[in-house]
Each structure stands twice: as C-alpha cells, then as structure tokens.
Structure 1
Amino acid sequence: MPEATADEPSRWRDPKRYLWLSALAVPTLPFQAGALAHLTGLELFWWWGPVFAFVLIPVLDAAVGRDGSNPPEAIMKALDADRYYRWCTYLYLPLQYGALVWACGIWAYGGLSVAGDLGLAATTGVVAGVAINTAHELGHKRQRVERRLSRIALAQTWYGHFFVEHNHGHHLRVATPEDPASSRLGESFWRFLPRTVLGGVRSAWRIESARLERRGRRVWSGDNQVLTAWALSAALFAALTAAFGWAVLPYLAVQAVLGFCLLESVNYLEHYGLLRERLPDGRYERVAPRHSWNSDNTVSNLLLFQLQRHSDHHANPLRRYQTLRHFDEAPELPSGYATMIVTCWFPRVWRRIMDARLLAHYDGDVTLANRRPTAGVRRDVSSRRGA
C-alpha cells in the first residue's frame, strides 16, 4: 500500500489541497455550455456536459495518469478534521442549483431549438448525476447539516430514497446477490438498470418502514424519510414550473432521469462480479477492499471527491474523501469512471475487458464471483478463460 511520506509527517501538506476545487467545474457546466454557444453561435455547444464528462475527462485521465499515494497515517486525524475540505463539497450545492435555475430560464425564454434544449438538459443531467456523488459524500457523515445538504442535493433527480437505501441497505449487502446495487458477472448494464432502480426504491421503502415500525410511528407520515425526500423534489419541480411555466417540465424530467442513470452506471461498475463469501454461521464475511473495484486515475478522482477509492470507502464509510486510501489488494479498473461509464453501456465491450480482469482477481475460479443465476454465464466465462 504506497504512502505519500515526507521527512516529517507533521510537515506533510496535501499536494492536491487546492486541486479539489476543480470538482466545482462540474456544476458550472451549463454556464460553460452557454458561454461556448454564445461565443461561437453554435447550438451544439449546449451538449458540452457530455463532451466534458465522456471525452475530455478520459483524455485527461490518460494524459495525467494515476496516483496511488496515501497520506501518512500520522496526519490522518488532522486531515479529516480540516474544515476546508468540507467547504469544497458544500460549495457544490449553490452552484448546482444556480445552474438548474439558469437552465430553466433558458428552456423557458432562450429560444433554442429542441436539439439545443435537449443538449442543455443532458449537460444539466451530468451536473445532477455528479450531485448524487456529492450527496453520497455528505450523506455518510454524522453532522446534521451535512446530512440535510445531502438530501437537498438529491432533490434534483428525485433520488432522495438513495440516502436511506445506500446507507442502510447497500453498505450492509454490498457484493452479495441480495444487493440491487451490486452488478453480477454476465449481467449487462441494461439488464442491471431496471433491477437496481426498482430494487433500490423497494429496499428504501422496506428499510424506512421497518425503522418507523420499530419506533412505533406511522409509515405514512412526515417521519418517513423516503416520503419527505420525494416531497422535497415535488416542491422543487413545482416551484420551478410556477416560476418558468410548464415548458420546463419535460427538460426537468430528462435531466433527472439522466442524472440517476449516471449514478446507476457508477453503481454497475463499482462492484461488478465481486462477491463476499458466506461464513459457516450463514452470514457474509466482513466487507474488505477486495470487494470493490478501484481506480487511482488522478483527474476523475479530483472531480468525484475520490469516489473511485471505493474499497476504503466501504471499509470505512465515515472516512472523508481526502483521507481515502489506496489498497494493493483492491481490484483495479483499467481506467477512471468517466471512461468506464461509457464502456459499460456497450455490454460486449465491457465483458471483453472486465470479465478477464474479474477472473484474474479470482485466480480463474468463476465460482467465487457474483454471477447471474443462469448456466449460460458459466459456459460463456469458462470459454473466455480458456481463450
């Protein structure tokens, strides 16, 4: 496990300290798109968000490379307590919502073509998808203000139930067949998508219903965090519709769907085929770094508040992004999330790349993987193993 050491740990300074602010380039993507379209007179620049995320970032990831260094253990506590890093995540939200309101103004009064409006919706969807990642970072913390900010960040995509399911469902069942957010070997993204979306909603409702019943409270009440999250989204969409007219609703819907599909693309690649073993008592083994795919690509880690160091996150869910560590035992993705998200949309390409890596992780023993419950998968993978 490589570590970024110094002559004296007390003198160590985070070399990325101010680079974390680059993550704030994401919520400004609609503004960037508008500026580029205005300067060039070309409506195609309203599609700048997808180009930034899925063309520019993969290129930069390849050019800049990886960073597998870790902060010295001696400064972890002080680094975790540094409030500067919290403000980097807090600032995402006003930019996120400023961009959303501005986009509604363009949809209502900008006079763009349908293609231009859809491009802006796609760009706003990129912001919304990464906002779920910001909500993920905030939602794992104990401070009430951060947990509330997490719910606000999720309102744009109608994915407030993620706060409940992810913390109390996914983290308990990760890398098991019971987890709707853990993809299976041989399962395409397009098969995974409806399973994880519907499964996540059902799981969140069951978890929250059980919590309220244990406390003797009514499920259909303001105490239900799933219902209040959806109510917040409804209030947001109603306010934007009242302010800008019904014309904005289709584009609000498009950006919301694209946003949560982006999240589910990330869910798909984070645990693909990885499986925790059952212990003799029937429980699953404790989550370890080997149960999550990692990526140390520098640029995408900066933009995603180091979400790609996912193994340490699952081992230590309360650990803040600036202190997440690289583990040599964690399986490594061939590139950053920006590249792998696009790859997973093409199942044959994805399987050609990832099935071999998964088999190598398990020393060729496909029975150790989290597989689709079909005999055909084993035959397919076994044939790949022998190729």
Structure 2
Amino acid sequence: MDAVMSGEKPRLSPLTKVGALPVSAVALLPFVGYWLGGGAWHWLTIVLIFVIGPVLDRLVGEDNLNVPPQLEARYEKSLYYRLTLWLYLPVQIALVLFSYHLITNTDMALYAQIGLALSMAVGVGFGATLAHELCHHPSRLDRFIGVQVFSLCGMANFLVYHNYGHHNLVATPEDPGSARYGESFWRFMPRNIGRKLVLSWQIEAKRLKTLGKSWLSPYNLMIWLTLNELAWVVGLTWYFGPLALVLFALQYAAPRLLLSVGDYLEHYGLSRRKLSGGEYEPPRAIHSWDDSYMLSNFLFTAVDRHADHHENSGRPFQILRVRHEAPRLPYGYLTMIFAAFVPPVWRRLVHPVLEAFYDKGEVVPHALPGVLP
C-alpha cells in the first residue's frame, strides 16, 4: 500500500505480470520437441512438466503476493488477461491437428508416437484449468471460447456442472467434487467423474422444467454441448482415420484425470456447517485448500488460489488472493497430484495438516464413516 501511495511500482505476483501465457507455452512444447529433431524429444513435455517441474516448483518456492486492493479494478478490467486466455484456443487446435498428422501420416517409431500422444494430451489437459477461468466470465464470447477448449477434450459439460452445481454444493456431501477424509483418490475419481456428468444433465433438466420445457428439446444446453464434442470426434476421425479415436480418447482422459485430481486436492475433508433452516453456510476461505507455489500457480492459471476463488467466484484469476486462513497444502499442485495417486503418501502429508485444522473448530470434517481419529 505504501508503494502505491508513494507512486512506486508495486510488487506483483509473476502470474499477474504474464497472465495465462504459461498454459499456451505448455501446449507449444510438442512443437519444440519436433523442431529439436523428434524421436526422444517428443517426450520433452512429459519430462519438463512431471519430472523437472515438481523439483523446480519446490526450488523456486512460494508466491504470496496479492494485487494491492487499490489496483484490483485496474487489473481486473485489463484486456491483456483475456487475450492471454483467448490465445490458447488456436494453439490447442494447432497442437491437436499437428499431433494427429504426425502420428497418422508419418513414419514415427512407436516410442515417439507414444511420447507425442501423451504430450498432446498434457497440453490439452492443462488447457482445462484455463477453460475453467473462461467459463466463469460474464462475457458470452469468453464462455464460448471456454466451451470450445473443453469440447476438444470431451468436457463441455463442465460449464453446467461447475458454475451451477459445484459452486452451490461445494464442501457438502451432495457435491461429487468434494472428497471425504479417508477417501483415496482412486475411490473418489469414478464417483467424481460419473456423478459430475449425471449432475450436469440433472441441472439442465431442472432448469428447463422451471421454464415449462422438456429436457429433450432444442433448449437443452447439454444436448448442444454434446453435439459440439461429437462434431470434433467425427471430423477428426473422418480426416485422420480410426487412429484418431484412440488419440481423442487420450485427450479425453487426460483433462478428466487432471481435473479430478484437482477436485481431490481442493476440498479434501472440508465441509460447510448446516444451519438451523436446513441450508448450508456460505462458502468461505476455510472450505478450500490453498497452495501458493509459483510454478504450480503459473501452470494451473491460479486455480490453486482456490479459497479466494470460492469465496469470490467472480474474481478473475489475475487478482485472486492468497488466503492465509485457508488450510495450506504442504507442496504445490505439481507435487501433490502425484501424492494423491499414492494414498499412503497422501495421508502422511495431508492428514496431520487437516487434523490440526479440524482442532481449530472452524470447519466441519467431511469424512468417510468411522475413519476420523
């Protein structure tokens, strides 16, 4: 604040400086691997993100800088951040077409094909966090771009479930996106993915019923979202052949896995209190896990500043704040996603933090029956 009042340039989070460009950079890595000579270089994305990334995330450390309140309006209105989000869609489409072409029309060794296919899936998968941001924007153009990004990985229903389901039900037993204490990721994932899809259709059917319309009608947004996804599948298969179905299945699976493990990290073991009238208290910062590691923040478009996102769902990513009253993950997302895959490691890292948070008495435990200490 003193820097703002004195006219000095305030210290800003690196993410506030660069916007969502790092996500497009991840999607461009397969092009770099090809330019470097292909072959083993097609594994460049996998090595950089999942081998070197967690180490760098720990070495670079945390970024706890928030935009000064006096400057939030300026950064919120800046067109630059929307442009960095929009940029990803043409990059994503180019990545998919480039990868499909190389895999189906060139003589690549099998190990190189696998490396490129996985790298493409990762590039598409990280776009899901960026599309999440776009689907929260009030602009129809932004939401349209977000839906197109999700359509290329078969997840366009996210717009309906997340905005009208998750944000209303978060940190309650009714939310398939909120994991329970003692629930392993591998137990959580099928419930999470399956119930989110079912809930998306239920939400849209309920909306149409209030309007006096059938769920099976042209007014059903879920039908149009599904047709949009099918158009991509049919088009890619028609042009590139049957192998395109395998590649699309891969780019379908990667973002769902990434978002499912993200859900697992974000609300594990946390529940809102039920009030005397039967409704739940409003979402607060204490109902989401935070993480402020800089590299994770870059690659996940600040979704790891999750406590502020849920308490203020209209706040765009560039001005999301670190909330110190929220429980804090011991490491960044780049590390914790792997911890979630190994339940004993997850319990050893997270349960002591969570149990100490329970002891404060501010949050209701959300747990499987009979597993609380």
Is the pair's TM-score, using the shorter chain for normalization, greater than 0.5?
Answer: yes
Are residue 143 (structure 1) and residue 149 (structure 2) matched? no
Q: Tell me which amino acid in the other structure corresponds to 1:19.
A: V
Are residue 115 (structure 1) and residue 114 (structure 2) matched? no
- How many pairs were matched up? 371
- 1 CA distance for matches of 2:349 and 2:340? 10
Residue 10 of structure 1, CA deviation: 8.4
1:5/1:71 contact within 8 Å kept = no
Q: TM-score, normalised by structure 2?
A: 0.94
Distance 1:218 1:29, change over 3 A: farther
Choose the corresponding residue for 1:253, options 220, 227, 249. 249
Distance 1:183 1:5, change over 3 A: farther
Are residue 232 (structure 1) and residue 228 (structure 2) matched? yes
Report what 2:215 is aligned to: 219
2:11/2:65 contact within 8 Å kept = no
Q: Tell me which amino acid in the other structure corresponds to 1:118.
A: I
Q: Tell me which amino acid in the other structure corresponds to 2:99.
A: A
Secondary structure in 1 aligned to 2:313? coil
Alignment map for 1:125-144 (pairs within 5 Å): 125-144=121-140
Residue by residue over 1:160-179, the C-alpha shift from the partner in whole angstroms, topping out at 9 and shown as x without a partner, is 11110000000011111110
- 1 CA distance for matches of 2:61 and 2:2? 16
2:270/2:363 contact within 8 Å kept = no
Report what 1:265 is aligned to: 261
Report what 2:100 is aligned to: 104
Residue 111 of structure 1, CA deviation: 2.0
- 1 CA distance for matches of 2:36 and 2:155? 30
Choose the corresponding residue for 1:362, options 355, 358, 363. 358
Deviates more, 1:173-182 or 1:106-115: 106-115
Report what 1:32 is aligned to: 32
Choose the corresponding residue for 1:309, options 305, 308, 312. 305
Report what 2:83 is aligned to: 87
- 2 CA distance for matches of 1:32 and 1:326? 34
Distance 1:87 1:158, change over 3 A: same
Are residue 192 (structure 1) and residue 188 (structure 2) matched? yes
- Percentage of identical aligned residues: 36
Residue 327 of structure 1, CA deviation: 1.3
- 2 CA distance for matches of 1:175 and 1:82? 32
Gapped regions of structure 2 (runs ≥ 5) = none
Deviates more, 1:19-28 or 1:327-336: 19-28
1:9/1:75 contact within 8 Å kept = no
1:107/1:248 contact within 8 Å kept = no
- 2 CA distance for matches of 1:160 and 1:118? 26
Residue by residue over 1:65-106, the C-alpha shift from the partner in whole angstroms, topping out at 9 and shown as x without a partner, is 111121111111111001101111111111111101101101
Deviates more, 1:244-253 or 1:283-292: 244-253
Alignment map for 1:140-179 (pairs within 5 Å): 140-179=136-175
Residue 58 of structure 1, CA deviation: 1.3
- 1 CA distance for matches of 2:37 and 2:266? 35
1:273/1:370 contact within 8 Å kept = yes
Secondary structure in 1 aligned to 2:270? coil
Secondary structure in 2 aligned to 1:326? coil
Residue 113 of structure 1, CA deviation: 3.3
2:23/2:127 contact within 8 Å kept = no
Q: Tell me which amino acid in the other structure corresponds to 1:114.
A: L
Please, what is the CA RMSD of the aligned residues? 2.0
Q: TM-score, normalised by structure 1?
A: 0.91
Distance 1:81 1:364, change over 3 A: closer
Report what 2:348 is aligned to: 352
